[in-house]
């Protein structure tokens, strides 16, 4: 898989409805994972979306999730740029440059779903997420 650059939208409890709406608009394949799938103790947010991805026939990819209650959610500022793929060298290089001089919110390291993931805000205030899928 090649690397891809796409928007990541944040919602507050209605990510499922929003992502299903975008699927109706753009078509394509929608995959949704809930917080409860990865954390059996997720409590009241267990059925909310931890990660959603819509891949459209036109080649667009839109990702989104529900923002947990302990995290800020500011409509109008609820978009992040996501880089994802399986080329570890390429994506680590992007991460190093994007996070330099910025703020690392989640260090780029192996996560509970098996991929390497990190989140940062670059020196210009743009939020980025990098997800390196594990092959094999």
Domain ranges of the chain: 4-132
Residue of 79, 110, 108 whose CA lies nearest to 94: 108
Per-position DSSP letters for the chain, written without gaps between them: ---EEEEEEEESS-HHHHHHHHHHHH-SEEEEEEHHHH-TT-GGGTTSEEEEEEE-TTS-EEEEEEPPTTS---TTS-EEEEEEES-HHHHHHHHHHHHTTSEEEEEEEE-TTSSEEEEEE-TTS-EEEEEEPPP-
- Digit-coded pLDDT (tens) for 110-127: 998 899 999 999 887 888
Cα separation of 66 and 19, whole Å? 11
> How confident is the model at residue 47, as a pLDDT?
96
* Residue 30 pLDDT level (bands cut at 50, 70, 90): very high
pLDDT at residue 58 greater than cutoff 60: yes
> How confident is the model at residue 135, as a pLDDT?
66
* Residue 46 pLDDT level (bands cut at 50, 70, 90): very high
pLDDT-above-70 percentage for the chain: 98
- Digit-coded pLDDT (tens) for 99-109: 999 999 999 99
* 4-132 to CATH, choices 3.40.50.410, 2.40.50.140, 1.10.287.610, 3.10.180.10: 3.10.180.10
């Amino acid at each position: 898989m090649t690397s891809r650059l796409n928007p990541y939208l944040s919602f507050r409890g209605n990510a499922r409805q929003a992502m299903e709406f975008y699927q109706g608009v753009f078509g394509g394949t929608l995959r949704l994972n809930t917080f409860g799938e990865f954390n059996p103790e997720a409590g009241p947010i267990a059925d909310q979306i931890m990660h959603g991805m819509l891949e459209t026939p036109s080649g667009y990819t839109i990702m989104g999730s529900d923002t947990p209650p302990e995290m800020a959610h500011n409509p109008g500022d609820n978009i992040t740029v996501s880089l994802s793929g399986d080329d570890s060298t390429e994506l680590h290089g992007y991460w190093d440059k994007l996070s330099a001089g910025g703020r690392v919110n989640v260090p780029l390291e192996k996560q509970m779903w098996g991929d390497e993931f990190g989140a940062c805000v670059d020196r210009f205030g743009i939020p980025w997420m990098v997800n390196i899928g594990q092959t094999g």
